[in-house]
Structure 1
Amino acid sequence: MRPASLRNCPSRITSSLMVTSIASLTLLIMPDYSRGVLLELAGTRTHVVVDAATGPVTGPPVVLSSGLAGNWFDWDAVTELLTPGRTVVRLDRPGYGLSDPWPDGAVPTLDSEVTRLRDLLDALEIESAVMVAHSMASFYVEAFLREFPSRTAAAVILDGSVEASPRWVLPGDLRDALLLRSADAATAVGMNRAGPAAHRLLGAGDPPPEYASILSSEDYFRAAFLENGRYPVLAHELADLRQETPLPPDVPVTVAAAFTGRRTPWNTSWLGQQEELAEILHGRYAVIAPSGHHAMIDQPAQVAALILDATTPPGGTAGPTG
């Protein structure tokens, strides 16, 4: 269910500034953007886009979480394919998209992102949703699944990050202090200006023209720098959580690997790692092909089909495979 201020609004919100209190969270409809809201999630104003189902509802809402340096518009084509029967929710973690930057001294943690997802569902009055994660966001969605199984109708992992044996990291305070100083230094010398080129190099394509400036912003670069720098720490946090909190037995999980269609030693190894991840999560395994890492951009129809099939009980068909 959408919050009161959204239920009667079109999915492309063009409202002037309005503030409404919802379950102790503040909903801020942004004045100058064609669609989206800012929600106070996990202590940071987080950009959220809600596209309501345009026809009869056929299943639970879908929450789409981007990977490292991902933005809500990366999911535009998938969203268009899902909304005939599903409400689709997209969010940008701090510094990405139109979200506020990370507060001074703050860094991403597994707990911060699980809390953000929980706060999101609470704010939108969604009891449970299909939680979809691309790449590094798989850490957050797997953690959410383990900690809040009743809020997870199903989980879909698209080319998820895999760290079976996370590498050693520096002690916490020293590590984070170095990371924050490095982020400041990199931003100070203008490394953020390389953002658009790096975005294209990684196969994410070009953003809508009106949002192109996001990719070269200091907030965006800093967020990506911090999240990438915290990667081994997040992997350790997830490994610990796997030991402490078992998977729920009744939540369907799908792990989908992106495959270019060209067999190389690296691709073969990657497909094997994705299949192992599916085994760890007691999930179904599928292959999306031909596709680069950003499967939601390269093959939106295959990704949408997997999401629509996600609540099928284990043993059913998991959509595309190869």
Structure 2
Amino acid sequence: MTLKYDVAGTGPTLVLVHGVVHRRQAWDAVLPLLTPYRRVVTVDLPGHGESAPLRESGENVLVRLQIELTEFVREVEEPDQQVHIAGNSLGGFVALCLAAQGEVASATALSPAGFFLNTADQARTMATFRGMRAIARTLGASAPTALKSRAVRYPSLLPFFARPSRVPYEAAVADVDSLTTNAMIDAGIDAPFEFPALTEPLVPVTVAWGTRDLILPRYQSRNVRRVFPHARMISVPGVGHVPMTDNPELIASILLAGSENAAESNAGAI
């Protein structure tokens, strides 16, 4: 298997998928709150963290991500038990695609990509990423030293986190380094985000959106039910684009509820 992953905890399997330019450690803040109740699998997406680059093919990069993650969840699922999946940003998009195809028992998406209002809205997001990368590359080798200063660290992290002060220094350095080196920004995430057709029976879906998300603003959530009419929608107050660090307790509770009994989750969708 070409994807690097960790497994911890006991209970139903919950696969956690990070966003673009991030890595599996993005979930560290919520892990202690999940592992008493779930067998948690955190994975580095292709081309991220310690995983191998995305396999080359003639397909859209977003389709290739779905294929590799589908293969992955089949590998890590327990016998005769589909995994639950949750993802943030790009990981949320992939999680929802797997749910649409019936590959998982449930899906929880935190500020998922794929619900842009139009091409200009998507272009704005890509411009934000490329602008942050330019800043990170300007810092260059001085980044570890510069990020010790709150005057540099806080604005560098603010697009992702509502509470940058909660991000450990080591994580901040790794995030900035990933911005400078990760190839996914230019590999096709400005391509159209297209969800597969829904399969029957419908897989329970929860979509939670931070009210302080600056990367994928909450107004994009109005498009969710056009694709997933059965989705349970949650507005999460006071958190940003990567909400796990902003409010671990609240996000863990959403992840546990979303991966609870699938039939009950579907019945409770509004």
Please report the TM-score for the alignment, with normalisation by the length of structure 2.
Answer: 0.71
- Structure 2 gap segments, 5+ residues each: 123-129, 148-152
Kept after mapping to 2: 8 A contact 1:107/1:226: no
- How far has the Cα of 1:81 moved from its partner? 0.7
Query: Cα distance 1:122–1:220, how it changes in 2: closer, same or farther (>3 A)?
Result: farther
**Structure with bigger RCO (C-alpha 8 Å, 6+ apart):** 2
CA shift for structure 1 position 68: 1.8
CA contact (8 A) 2:117 2:223 kept: no
Deviation per CA, 1:38-67, whole angstroms, max 9, x where unpaired?
Answer: x32xxxxx22111122xxx3xx31111111
RMSD across aligned positions (CA)? 3.8
SS in 2 for 1:77: coil
1:298 to 230, 233, 246: 246
Alignment match, 1:109: 61
Aligned length: 239
Q: Distance in 2 between matches of 1:77 and 1:140?
A: 22
CA 1:136 to 1:93, structure 2 compared with 1: closer, same or farther past 3 Å?
A: same
Match for residue 289 of structure 1 among 222, 231, 237: 237
In structure 1, C-alpha distance between the alignment counterparts of 2:139 and 2:226, rounded to whole Å: 38
**1:138 Cα deviation (Å)?**
2.6
Q: 1:124-163 counterparts in 2 under 5 A?
A: 124-126=76-78, 127-147=81-101, 149=102, 151-161=103-113, 162-163=115-116
Specify the code of the residue in structure 1 equivalent to 2:190. Answer: P
Residue of structure 1 aligned with 2:7, choices 50, 66, 72 = 50
5+ residue gaps, structure 1: 1-38, 41-45, 170-182
Q: 1:257 aligns with which of 209, 220, 224?
A: 209
Same amino acid, percent of matched pairs: 22
Q: Residue type of the partner of 2:157? A: R
Contact map agreement 1:66 1:72 (CA 8 A) in 2:
yes
Q: Is the 8 A contact 1:260 1:290 kept in 2?
A: yes
Q: Which stretches of structure 1, 4 residues or longer, exceed 6 Å deviation after superposition? A: 103-108
In the alignment, structure 1 residue 233 sits paired with structure 2 residue 191: yes
Q: Give distance in 2, aligned partners of 1:101 and 1:229.
A: 11
Q: Work out the CA distance in 1 between the residues paired with 2:24 and 2:40.
A: 11
Query: Could you tell me whether the CA contact under 8 Å between 2:17 and 2:43 is conserved in 1?
Result: yes
Any conservation in 2 of the 1:110–1:143 contact (CA below 8 Å)? no
What is the aligned partner in structure 2 of residue 276 from structure 1?
223
SS in 2 for 1:94: coil
Alpha-carbon offset, residue 91 of structure 1: 1.0
Distance (Å, rounded) in 2 between the aligned partners of 1:117 and 1:307: 19
Q: 1:276 to 1:99 in 2, by over 3 A?
A: same
The residue identity in structure 2 corresponding to 1:69 is V
CA contact (8 A) 2:19 2:89 kept: yes
**Do the aligned residues in 1 keep the contact of 2:55 with 2:64 (CA within 8 Å)?**
no
SS in 1 for 2:5: strand
Richer in strand (by share): 1
Which protein shows a greater Rg?
1
1:316 matched to 2:268: yes
Secondary structure at 2:265 match in 1: coil
TM-score, with length taken from structure 1: 0.61
